[in-house]
Structure 1
Amino acid sequence: MQKSQIMKDKIISAVRTFATSKTSGSKVVPDMSELIEATSLLPLSGFDYWERIIRSEFSSTVREPLSPKWKLWSRPKEFVTWLDLLSWDGYKREKALRALSGAAPNTFFYSLAVRRLNDWVPQVRKAAREKLPEITRSTAPEYVVEALCVALSNWNSWGRIEKADKAVLLEIISEKHLAKSLRSKLIMSASGPMPSLFSQLGRTAILDDHIAKIATSAIQPSVRARAYRSLFEGRIVWFEDRKWVWTDIRYCEGRLKPVIRERKLEIDIPLIDLLKRSSEDSSPIVRRVSAEFLIRELGSLGTKATVFAERFATDNSNSVSERGEFALRKLDEAERTNAS
């Protein structure tokens, strides 16, 4: 049996156990321990799938008549639980958000609360905006950081999230202890959408004093490359949205154009130092960025431009050596022009 099927069976079993205890008529708060243990193992990359599985199984189990007929007159006490954030009923999702207090039990359930910012019911999104900061303050930082890394990397695909909703998350990540954990996550993660996370975190100032460290220390080369590019350009750019642009309105033809935003950075690292550090990086992804900015700045580097161009021209990576050779040709052309 495949690992995913084993996990699915474990989740279904845990949901059924919890749903049974919730509808048993007991006056004791339903035990979520088995469900919390099972959902703690779920990867956030497949969140949509697991959310559908849990919602469907919970709903079908709750609808089953679990009590004897003679007890139907006795209405069991309704306990609001974290799983109510998955309800098909928008009123229940809103009620759950407003009633829940204390810490989210794991990353999965905190993610459920975050994703209500993209809920299809406006009143639920409003409740999420109001309650999420409170839930965050009570929840373990490692759960919050893990969930936010995924949410920030994917929120551009959320069709219903609004500026006010995004502002709540940006305010949360600006909390000092969370900002530190997010920067550490950015540097130490060997996989995952960290380049996208870097850009989205750049909407705030939490990276500004640490971009040089990220450029030299991040495990993922693509993150180092993005950090160096920000240092070279003196700005952080991010993908904001897509906007429909007509290409030929007569035939109702058009396309979605990416909307890019940026924020300026105050950089006090000399260009030569940036070139030296980036040109010595172990990854060709980073050295290619370095060579690109060498070409842009050939006219301002004097004789040092030749040193870097020759280094890039002999690089083992074709994409880097091609840029180095191009830089040498441009320098040669400039020299001949000046000589004549």
Structure 2
Amino acid sequence: MTALPDPDLPEPLARHVVELNAAIARGWVEPARVQAVIEALADLSPSMVSRVSSRMAIQGDVFSVARPALLKEAPNLDETTPWFDPERNRQRLAEQPELAYLLLFHVNGHLREAALNQINDALGSPFFLAAIAQRINDWVPVVRRSAVRCAERVFFTAPPAAVAEVAMFLMERTSHWRRGRDEALWLKRFFASPLVAEGVVDGIRTLQTSIAARTLRHALTGPGLDDRLLDLARNAASPAVRQIAFRTLIDGEACWRIGEDVEMGGWPPRVIRRLPRFERRPVARPISLDEAIALAAADRSAAIRRVAAEGLAKHRRAVEAPERLLSLLMQAPSPAILQRLEFVAQDLGLELPAASGSKGA
């Protein structure tokens, strides 16, 4: 009977894992089958690391995701066969060093440590870079330390584009790690280094997926990308990125959510409402407040023009030429924008210019 591929693993990885398990059950780990699994893993996105880890860390010799079928396929095995045999896998690792890429996911911490000590090359794969980085959050302290040493060997020699992709995937996630705070600091410092920052900025500028905006929002918790905000506001492909950049420039501060406050009331006590809690830090503008609002007002996105109107309403007494900004924003007066402009004009005692046309969102 042939074992069925694990439905939780993507093809062709699932099929290659089944074939590798069958070879292991027969007592011989064929290099070609090991290489097939490694290549299938290398092609995956970093976002697959947790899912693959949870499926491939099942106790067994290297992997054992299809044990019942393998018992039928290999008559020389029975239910008493020692499937969890770290010593046999250590011997295999010594004979076939490439097994280290698979043992990264093993349930046994000694084998994960041995794998990390063996790896000197991430194969140019963002997936394997993410798999190594994930071990910096491992539950075994010695594995975390080995992961940092492995990352020091591998990350600086990996292709910059691959490192940037992993950084964008992990920057937000590492802030939620609760293990290995000291080890995680290495990864945080590496992500903030000039080597990585340039690639991350390129990714934020060019990607139109949500990860670009999430990465920028997280990066703004520190000053690393402050000097690139104007470039991102003007040139980012994602409207969400331009919106964050313009809001930060106009307000002169970065803002990010750190939790929520819960308001209780009544009897018995119950939650009345939840209010988000934010942290802020000042950000120096490379241009004047008027220029920042004017640039946002000229953006092709209605959401960003609304940011300009909100900024004008919020900072109406700090701008130098409110009439000019009112005129710019009246070129595309959506109801939300018009409401804010009417407030500004009334509060400053100005006459609201007539609308002069519309602009596509």
| Mapped partners of 1:163, 1:199: distance in 2 | 22
1:333 positional shift = 8.4
* Contact 1:313–1:325 (Cα < 8 Å) also in 2: no
* Contact 2:20–2:33 (Cα < 8 Å) also in 1: yes
Partner in structure 1 of residue 133 of structure 2: 114
Q: Cα distance 1:319–1:43, how it changes in 2: closer, same or farther (>3 A)? A: farther
Gaps of 5+ in 2: 1-5, 94-98, 352-361
Partner in structure 1 of residue 107 of structure 2: 88
| Mapped partners of 1:93, 1:257: distance in 2 | 42
| Mapped partners of 2:107, 2:88: distance in 1 | 21
| Mapped partners of 1:41, 1:120: distance in 2 | 27
Amino acid in the other structure paired with 1:78: R
Match for 2:144 among 125, 134, 141? 125
1:105 positional shift = 5.1
| Mapped partners of 2:29, 2:38: distance in 1 | 21
Match for 1:234 among 225, 247, 252? 252
Amino acid in the other structure paired with 2:317: G
Match for 2:52 among 37, 50, 53? 50
The answer to whether 1:177 aligns with 2:225 is no
Partner in structure 1 of residue 120 of structure 2: 101
| Mapped partners of 2:244, 2:343: distance in 1 | 23
| Mapped partners of 2:30, 2:198: distance in 1 | 40
Cα shift readout 1:131-159 (whole Å, capped 9, x = no counterpart): 32322123222222222211123334x45
1:118 positional shift = 2.8
* Contact 1:18–1:31 (Cα < 8 Å) also in 2: yes
Look up the SS of the partner of 1:237 in the other structure: strand
Look up the SS of the partner of 1:219 in the other structure: coil
| Mapped partners of 1:75, 1:91: distance in 2 | 12
Q: Cα distance 1:67–1:221, how it changes in 2: closer, same or farther (>3 A)? A: same
Q: Cα distance 1:126–1:321, how it changes in 2: closer, same or farther (>3 A)? A: farther
Cα shift readout 1:139-185 (whole Å, capped 9, x = no counterpart): 222222222211123334x4534543442222212333322111100
1:313 positional shift = 4.6
Q: Cα distance 1:89–1:141, how it changes in 2: closer, same or farther (>3 A)? A: same
Amino acid in the other structure paired with 1:133: E
Amino acid in the other structure paired with 1:121: V
Amino acid in the other structure paired with 1:144: V
Look up the SS of the partner of 1:301 in the other structure: coil
Partner in structure 1 of residue 36 of structure 2: 34
1:9 positional shift = 4.1
Partner in structure 2 of residue 338 of structure 1: none
Partner in structure 2 of residue 330 of structure 1: 347
Partner in structure 2 of residue 138 of structure 1: 157
Match for 1:273 among 274, 291, 297? 291
1:111 positional shift = 1.3
Length-normalised TM-score, structure 2: 0.74
Task: Trace 1:1-340 onto structure 2 (pairs within 5 A).
Answer: 8-19=10-21, 32-56=34-58, 58-60=63-65, 77-79=91-93, 80-104=99-123, 106-156=125-175, 158-161=176-179, 163-239=181-257, 241-242=258-259, 260-302=278-320, 304-313=321-330, 315-332=332-349
| Mapped partners of 2:8, 2:292: distance in 1 | 50
Q: Cα distance 1:322–1:42, how it changes in 2: closer, same or farther (>3 A)? A: farther
Task: Quote the sequence identity (%).
Answer: 21
* Contact 2:8–2:55 (Cα < 8 Å) also in 1: no
Moved more, 93-102 or 183-192: 93-102
| Mapped partners of 1:84, 1:256: distance in 2 | 44
Count, aligned residues: 325
1:247 positional shift = 5.2
Gaps of 5+ in 1: 335-340
1:221 positional shift = 0.8
| Mapped partners of 1:21, 1:177: distance in 2 | 42
* Contact 1:202–1:236 (Cα < 8 Å) also in 2: yes
Amino acid in the other structure paired with 1:305: P
Look up the SS of the partner of 2:254 in the other structure: strand
1:243 positional shift = 7.5
| Mapped partners of 1:305, 1:75: distance in 2 | 76
| Mapped partners of 1:202, 1:30: distance in 2 | 45
Length-normalised TM-score, structure 1: 0.78
